[in-house]
Structure 1
Amino acid sequence: MWWGLLIFAGLLEIVWALAIKQSEGFTKLWPSLVCVVAAVASFVLLAVVVRHLPVGTAYAVWAGIGAVGVAIAGVVWFHDALTLWRTTFITLIVVGLVGLRFLEQ
């Protein structure tokens, strides 16, 4: 259950990070509201999860999900370059996240 909440918190991190870009410096109302709501929900879920999982593991997974998700969204929606090096390092983050998950059984 805690891992599911952690994954959801990480997905919300992706939402608020992408909403920041869409808000254009918090000058657009709806993307700004999405950003704030998703960020608060993400932090609250992370706070709940760290009561049950090691804080270092939970934070690394939360941040990693956000980083990988935003990097992929950048390539798909914002046409960021997908280079061999970017792909390699994103893959390494994913490997680290999977490793942390199986370490904390």
Structure 2
Amino acid sequence: MNWLLLIIGGLFETGFAISLGKAQQTTGKPMAFWLSSFAICVAISMYLLFKAMGGDKAIPVGTAYAVWGAIGAIGTVVAGIVLFHEPVTFWRMFFLSSLVLSVIGLQLVSS
């Protein structure tokens, strides 16, 4: 259950990064909407990270934070490509792939 909370928390981290990107592109009420979305996503993301690090099957803080951050980073790169038309280059995909492999490795060696 804690891993599921951590994954969902990482997705909300992606949400707050996307919200900031969208807020940069808008003004007025749309900007207020995206900044509100940012605040909500940050709160949910941090709460789920907190919950994943506690309880009977707590994920160690170092592993939890690294995985949470990586999920957010991976999601943000993919969202940047899809939503903000950021470039897809060999080196970006290479390092993104190495990040994915590192997250899988951390999950495998965590008790």
The TM-score bracket by the shorter chain reads: over 0.9
Percent identical among aligned pairs is: 36
CA distance, structure 1, for counterparts of residue 95 and residue 77 of structure 2: 11
For 1:35, the equivalent position in structure 2 comes to: 38
Shift of 1:24: 2.1
- Structure-2-length-normalised TM-score: 0.89
Structure 2: which 5+ runs fail to align?
A: none
For 2:80, the equivalent position in structure 1 comes to: 74
Query: What SS does the corresponding residue of 1:53 show, helix, strand or coil?
Result: coil
CA distance, structure 1, for counterparts of residue 43 and residue 25 of structure 2: 18
Of residues 15-24 and 5-14 in structure 1, the stretch that sits farther from structure 2 once superposed is 15-24
- Structure-1-length-normalised TM-score: 0.94
CA distance, structure 2, for counterparts of residue 3 and residue 35 of structure 1: 23
CA distance, structure 2, for counterparts of residue 23 and residue 81 of structure 1: 21
For 1:78-89, list aligned pairs within 5 A.
Answer: 78-89=84-95
Q: Deviations over 1:53-94 (max 9, x none)?
A: 100000000000000110111111111111100000000000
User: How big is the alpha-carbon RMSD for the aligned residues of Structure 1 and Structure 2?
Assistant: 1.5
| 1:16 counterpart = 2:22 | no
> In the alignment, residue 15 of structure 1 is paired with which amino acid?
G
Structure 1: which 5+ runs fail to align?
A: none
- Between the two proteins, the alignment pairs up a number of residues equal to 105
Higher gyration radius (CA)? 2
